[in-house]
Amino acid sequence: MGQDSMEKLKSPLRTTEALEETLRDPGSRRSFLKGLGAAGVAGLAGCTSGDENGSTETDASTGDGDDGSEDTTTDGDSESGGQTLRLNATQRFGTIDPAKGTDYTQVMALVNLYDPLVFPDEEGNLQPHLADDWSVSDDNRTYTFEIREDATFHSGNPVRAEDVQFSVERFFDINQGYASLLTGVLSKENVTVVDKRTVDFTLDRVHSPFLATLVLLFIVDKKQVMDNTADGEFDDRGDYSQKWLNSNDAGSGPYELASFERQSSIAFSKYDDYWMGWGEDPFETVEIRIITKDPTVRSLMKTGELQMSSQYQSLETYQALEEEEGVRVESIPTVTLFYMKINTQIEPTNDPAVREAMAYGFDYKTARNEISPGSMQAQGPLAPAFGAHDDSIEQPTYDPERARQVLADAGYEEGDITIQNTYVKSFGLEEKMGLLFQQNMNEIGIDVELNPQTWGTMTELATSVEDTPHVNQVFYGPVYPSPDTVFYNQYHSDAASTWMSMEHLEDDTIDSLIEEARSTVDTDQRNQIYADLQSELAGLYPDLFVFVQSKKHAFADEVQGYTYRPAMSFDYWSHDFTHK
């Protein structure tokens, strides 16, 4: 989920109305979203949301691993002397391999176990992290990073430029996860070790979002990885330790892996020698449990067995928890959007008139106010908080008359059109959206079949144009801190056929605009291109832009330090958390 750097206004602006107001004033908005164009907001949502939705199973079945007995849970006052932070996630940890992880739970783990070169701050600006300094060449194609002196891996090995180079090679060789983001931008041969602590990245071409993408490059311990390889396809590098990294970590992050049960929980223990050092009262152990059922989360937060909830609990659960003593619920604005992605290549949704009718036939207000209270109106695919957001583009409103007219003008009669609406099974919010959509479409003469699926199936259906259903409900936010991801991953024809691009859009104008933006270094010029992109897209109606998400978390009172960062799962960086 993307989040944005509205953090600046975090304190006085908890409430949605105040926030919306700020957003509407271009001056104050720009002031807190400076870096958005280039280095700004980091959102690593997309996949996540998708995947998040992905493993929410039926109401009646769960992948819950809430048998506290099987896992070695350290209780609050254990002999090790430290406190344990327990939080829940709503989907399993598919992998903890830094070259493969993409969704919200995976990055949740990775961000604690590993360090990237740069790190987003509360506003989304990139701060030095493993790299304590960097410079960019005049032609904007070479980036030089200085690795900090005092950083060490959990193994004890120091972090050197070699490790960075190795990490890049591993990333590209394995070629999963987000490797595709840098394909065509960087070749692994062009990452050079200048000296023990300096590394150069020479890009194949100017790529304005490059630095932002680097938050996803988690640095691994080359020595340790090479020590643990098994037989594999990478010649002398074997399997690149994929097997070993499935259940171990080779990172330098603030926490080390303590235990890992893929379907039920993962636990980390504090790495005392972390280069950043520790403040007062950090958590010795962090345990993330997979709990999808609301009553369970509620019950555990009540008894204190859980100290922080996920952002995907039901409205009723948050309401109940707010009443609970010792628990507070915080509401955090994000830059993740909730879309109804429309397949633009199959009948009848390949007809822009049909899409336009759908866009005007949907009751956005009810969706926002009743189904997802606290969320904000969307206007195009870019969250309004982005500096590059164009306020003047047309956002459809609920106008069934107009919708019916559009259909009639295009020659359709009532009952002519039947479409499917697909969403993640038993994800309450999406089920409600589906029902609302069905009812709304019914009023304008379109028949809708509801089609709940597992997230796994949805992502698979996305890979083929014919199989992708007409309408798909997806949460998506920027994958890296740049508007580029909102456009490239969703709308560029090269990026088609993933769950992020279920629109399967193939439009030359859009493609060339996206490419132009990528090679434009000047922020203002680039924002102009983004503005053009937004209005082009507005005319195509590839999606229903339903709302901008405002996420909620429940916290036990003793958990402090939660720091919102506009980057998916970077707010779960447990180095922030302290206990009272």
Partner 1 sequence: MKYWQYLVRRLVGGFVSLLGLSVIIFAVSRVLPGNPARMALGAMASEEQVQELAQEMGLTKPLWAQYVDYMQGLLTGNLGQSLETKRAVSTDVLQYLPATLELITVAMFFTIVIGIPLGVIAAQNKDGYVDNATRLVAFVSVSVPGFFIGVMFQLIFGYLLEWLPIIGRIGSQFSVTRETGFLLVDTLLAGNMAAHADVWIHLLLPGLALSMAGIGQVMRITRSSMIDVQDQDYVEAERSFGLPSWLVTYKYTLKNAFIPTLTILGLLYASLLGNAFLIEVVFSWPGMALYGVTAVMNNDFNAVVGVTMTIGLAFVTINFLIDVLLGRVDPRIRLQVEEAT
Partner 2 sequence: MNTGTETISASVLDSLISVQRRERWARAWKRFVSRPMSVVGLGIIIVVVVSAILAPYLAPYPQHAGKFTDFANALQGPSLTHPLGTDHIGRDILSRILFGYRLSLMMITVVLGFGVPVGIVLGLVAGYYGGWTETVIMRLTDTALALPPLVMALAITSALQPTLWNAMLAIAALWWTWHTRLVQSIVSSERNEEYVQAAELAGAGPLHVMFREILPNCLSPILVKVTLDAGFVILIGAGLSFIGVGVQPPRPGLGTMVSQGTGYLPESWWFAVFPGLAIFVLVMGFNMLGDGLRDVFDVEVNR
Residues between 272 and 301 that touch partner 2 (CB under 8 A): 293-295
Residue with smaller CB distance to partner 1, 177 or 445? 177
CB atoms within 10 A of CB 270: 20
Give the closest residue to 434 by CA, choosing from 553, 444, 176, 424: 424
Amino acid letter, 423: Y
Q: Nearest approach, Cβ of 327 to partner 1 (angstroms)? A: 17
Which residue number, 350 or 498, has a Cβ lying nearer to partner 1? 498
Query: Contact region for partner 1 (CB under 8 A) — 90-98, 196-204, 372-380, 386-394?
Result: 90-98
202 φ, ψ (degrees, to nearest 5): -110, 115
**Closest distance of CB 387 from partner 2, Å:** 34
Relative orientation angle of helices 523-540 and 508-518, to the nearest 10 degrees:
160
> By CB under 8 A, is residue 59 in contact with partner 2?
yes
The stretch near partner 1 (CB under 8 A) out of 248-256, 454-462, 525-533, 551-559 is: 454-462
265 binds, among partner 1, partner 2, none (CB under 5 to 8 A by kind): none
Strand partners, 422: 451, 472
Is there binding between residue 263 and partner 1 (CB under 8 A)?
yes
Task: Identify the residue whose tokens are 């980057």.
Answer: 567
By CB under 8 A, tell whether 416 contacts partner 2.
no
Distance CA 140, CA 160 (A): 24
Our finding on whether 552 is near partner 2 (CB under 8 A) is: no
Q: Shortest Cβ distance from residue 466 to partner 2 (Å)?
A: 18
Residues 367-386 that bind partner 2 (CB under 8 A): 370-371
Between residues 175 and 525, which has the closer beta carbon with respect to partner 1? 175
Out of 109, 126, 130, 320, name the contact with partner 2 by CB under 8 A. Answer: 320
Are 244 and 139 spatial neighbours (Cβ–Cβ below 8 Å)? no
Which span sits near partner 1 by CB under 8 A: 88-96, 222-230, 337-345, 539-547?
Answer: 88-96
Which of 425, 492, 518, 565: binder of partner 1 (CB under 8 A)? 425
User: Of residues 31, 61, 127, 246, which one binds partner 2 by CB under 8 A?
Assistant: 61
Query: Looking at beta carbons only, is 151 or 297 nearer to partner 1?
Result: 297
Binding residue for partner 1 (CB under 8 A) from 49, 55, 482, 578?
Answer: 55
Q: Which of 12, 277, 456, 539 binds partner 1 (CB under 8 A)?
A: 456
Binding residue (CB under 8 A) for partner 2 from 43, 387, 452, 477: 452
Q: Are 473 and 435 in contact (CB under 8 A)?
A: no
Q: Choose among partner 1, partner 2, none what residue 178 binds, the Cβ cut-off being 5 to 8 Å by kind.
A: partner 1
Q: For partner 2, give the closer residue by CB, 217 or 371.
A: 371
CA–CA distance, 245 with 238 (Å, rounded to integer): 13
Residue 75 interface partner, choices partner 1, partner 2, none, CB cut-off 5-8 Å depending on type: partner 1
Beta-bridge partner residues of 446: 417
DSSP 290-354: E---HHHHHHHHHHTS-SB--S---HHHHHHHHHSTTEEEEEEEEEEEEEEEE-SSSTTTTSHHH
Contacting partner 1 within 484-513 (CB under 8 A): 498-499
The stretch among 208-216, 257-265, 347-355, 436-444 that binds partner 1 (CB under 8 A) is 257-265
Edge-to-edge strands, sheet with 131-136: 131-136, 142-147, 198-203, 186-195
Q: How far apart are CA 535 and CA 537, in angstroms?
A: 5
Amino acid in the structure at residue 424: V
One-letter amino acid identity for 211? L
Neighbour count for residue 512 (Cβ, 10 Å): 12
Residue 566 binds partner 2 (CB under 8 A): no
Q: Is 449 in the site for partner 1 (CB under 8 A)?
A: no
Site mask, partner 1, residues 102-141, x = CB under 8 A?
Answer: x---------------------------------------
Answer for which of 176, 192, 259, 528 binds partner 1 (CB under 8 A) is 176
> Residue 474's closest CA among 438, 507, 429?
429
Query: In 175-285, which residue ranges form alpha helices assigned H by DSSP?
Result: 210-213, 222-227, 242-245
Work out which of 147, 186, 300, 383 binds partner 1, going by CB under 8 A: 300
- Our finding on whether 366 is near partner 2 (CB under 8 A) is yes
| Binding of residue 438 to partner 2 (CB under 8 A) | yes
Those residues whose C-beta lies under 8 Å from the C-beta of residue 175, and which sit 6 or more positions away, are none
CA atoms of 282 and 66, how far apart (whole Å): 25
Give the interface segment with partner 1, choosing from 93-101, 131-139, 310-318, 404-412 (CB under 8 A).
93-101
Pairing of strands 186-195, 255-261: unpaired
By beta-carbon proximity to partner 1, the closer residue of 104 and 364 is 104
According to DSSP, residue 220 is labeled -
436 counts as binding partner 2 under rule CB under 8 A: yes
Nearer to partner 2 by Cβ, of 426 and 569: the residue is: 426
Neighbours of 509 (CB within 10 A): 12
Cβ 58 to partner 1, closest distance in Å?
6
- Rounded Cα distance, 556 and 329, in Å: 9
Do 341 and 561 touch, CB atoms closer than 8 A? Answer: no
Q: Which of 20, 28, 94, 140 is in the footprint of partner 1 by CB under 8 A? A: 94
Can you tell me the distance from the alpha carbon of 344 to that of 99, in angstroms, rounded to the nearest whole number? 32
C-alpha to C-alpha distance for 522 and 505, rounded to whole angstroms: 27
Say how far apart CA 58 and CA 428 lie, in whole Å.
Answer: 10
E strands, 405-478, in order: 417-424, 446-453, 471-476
Instruction: Return the ∠ at Cα 459 (arms to 46 and 249), rounded to 5°.
Output: 65
How many residues sit in the footprint of partner 1 (CB under 8 A)?
A: 55
Contacting positions for partner 2 (CB under 8 A): 57-61, 293-295, 314, 316, 320, 366, 370-371, 425-426, 428, 431-432, 435-436, 438-439, 442, 448, 450, 452
Contacting positions for partner 1 (CB under 8 A): 47, 50-51, 55, 57-58, 60-70, 72-76, 86, 92, 94-95, 100, 102, 175-178, 180, 246, 261-264, 293, 295-296, 299-300, 303, 305, 425, 454, 456-457, 459-460, 462-463, 498-499
